[in-house]
Amino acid sequence: MTKSADFETQLRAEPSLANSILSELSPDTAARAKMRCFSSVKPELLRWLWPARIPLGKLTLLVGDPGLGKSLVTLDIAARVSTGRKFPDGAECHPGCAILLSAEDDAADTIRPRLDAAKAEVSRVHLLEAAYRYTEDGMRIEASFSLEQDIPALEDAIERTGARLVIIDPISAYLGNVDSHLNAEVRGLLSPLAALATRRETAVIGVTHLRKSPGAAIYRAIGSLAFAAAARSVWGVSADPNDKTRRLIVPVKQNLGPDVGGLAYRIEAPTPPGIALVAWEGGAVTLDAESLMSGAESEDDRSELRDAEEWIKDFLSEGPQLVPEIRRQATQAALSWTTVRRAFKGVRGVTQKTGGRGAPWQWSLSHDAAKDAQSSAVKDAHTNTSKLSTFDEKPENKGDKPPEDSKMLNISCMSTFEEKKPFEEGEI
């Protein structure tokens, strides 16, 4: 028996010896699991801000194209929470405070008039404008709020107001240095936010837009899939396909409650004072998210994507490029950045960080994609040379005689294009 086997036998015979050894190991070498037996977990009933639609203590996502009234809807919800007025489907609403983070609308000329039009108790609605941070030398500075750094400031705001609702509109404006398209970074950002919502039993609504690329409704939220994955409730906003002035809110993901169907509303601006507000319609909407939000791709979209794929392959054919420079060049080429990102995925692009936190990312082609791009460039060059030699050279005419037969010239031209291709597929 080896010494190692003798030692393992001794450890099994003397558990106290194993515990003694573990206690002497440093935290870096003693990997231990934190466990909790479910016998110690007290079951609790799930609570709702808006029954069956917006849970308390969870993240809810409101997804839709610009111009559909998503922000108006969130203000209508905040107004109802501030007064305890029933929700549009008749569900009871318990009164409380709401906190709003808004990166797109002005507080004085847009948000406050809309809250007034929605009959809000404005003393219970608060705008989180910035966060205070401290420098290394102890100075307090005011900074734009970031979910990456300022979750403690948001918790402070919830504690001071007792808020039952937090609205983040749009959530993409408060990501700090986090890349919204990277799953791991988005999960790391949303996990503390979700924990805060649970700890304070506050409903958090994040507003976001749809990506242009088509697909299943759950994948249409712009940025990483981690946004929809972290949310316990996802609602999609869409125009009614049969009535463009009518808006529909339909369930995309509802993990915690029954499917209660969607709702419909219109945007009105009564005169006076001409301030936009949400006018809800009665009855449930039976249209599903897939039929409304899958985003069928048009031929123009496909053509634009093909152009972007050719452009990004050509741009990266010489080697890796920094993302800021790629974006600048794409703008000069009149290409949509969203389309360029899709094209980059389509050509099997590779992303890599160039340094530590704050350093730019770079894009490059995979080995196979780069090989294909180089092969394509060589083929194009050869084809152009062949065409020039066929049509630009003068036919040989010894003795100043005309060509014996003009048909021979045509045959010669045809043979240029019908001979075996100079490069087989994949050859460089």
Q: What is the 3-state secondary structure (H, E, C) of 140-190?
A: EEEECCCCCCCHHHHHHHHHHHCEEEEEEECHHHHCCCCCCCCHHHHHHHH
Q: What is the mean pLDDT of residues 225-234?
A: 91
Helix (H, G, I), strand (E, B) or coil at 276: coil
Q: Pairing state of beta strands 277-280 and 321-322? A: unpaired
Whether 147 has a pLDDT exceeding 80, the answer reads yes
CA-nearest of 99, 107, 76 to 89 is 76
- Lowest average pLDDT, out of 39-48, 325-334, 401-410, goes to 401-410
Considering the segment(s) 48-293 as one domain, its CATH architecture is 3-Layer(aba) Sandwich (3.40)
Tell me what pLDDT residue 339 has. Answer: 86
Tell me what pLDDT residue 186 has. Answer: 92
Would you give the DSSP letter of residue 59? Answer: E
Tell me what pLDDT residue 415 has. Answer: 38
- Lowest average pLDDT, out of 39-48, 55-64, 413-422, goes to 413-422
Tell me what pLDDT residue 189 has. Answer: 93
- Lowest average pLDDT, out of 152-166, 341-355, 361-375, 407-421, goes to 407-421
Whether 79 has a pLDDT exceeding 60, the answer reads yes
Domain ranges in the chain are 48-293, 297-428
**403, HSE (Cβ side, Cα atoms, 13 Å):** 11
Mean pLDDT of the chain: 82
Give all strands (DSSP E) within 14-96, no chain letters: 48-50, 54-55, 59-64
Say which residues have a Cβ less than 8 Å from residue 87's Cβ, sequence separation at least 6: 50, 51, 53, 77, 80, 93
The most distant pair of C-alpha atoms in the chain lies apart, rounded to whole Å, by: 110
Would you give the DSSP letter of residue 41? Answer: P
Inter-CA distances, 321 with 311, 318, 350, 360, Å: 13, 9, 11, 10
Whether 298 has a pLDDT exceeding 90, the answer reads no
Tell me what pLDDT residue 252 has. Answer: 92
Provide, rounded to the nearest whole percent, the portion of the chain with pLDDT above 90.
Answer: 49
Whether 399 has a pLDDT exceeding 70, the answer reads no
CA-nearest of 165, 140, 145 to 49 is 165
Does domain 297-428 sit in CATH 3.40.50.720? no
Alpha carbons 287 and 237: distance in angstroms, whole number: 12
Alpha carbons 408 and 83: distance in angstroms, whole number: 91
Q: What is the mean pLDDT of residues 131-146?
A: 91
| pLDDT greater at residue 301 or residue 129 | 129
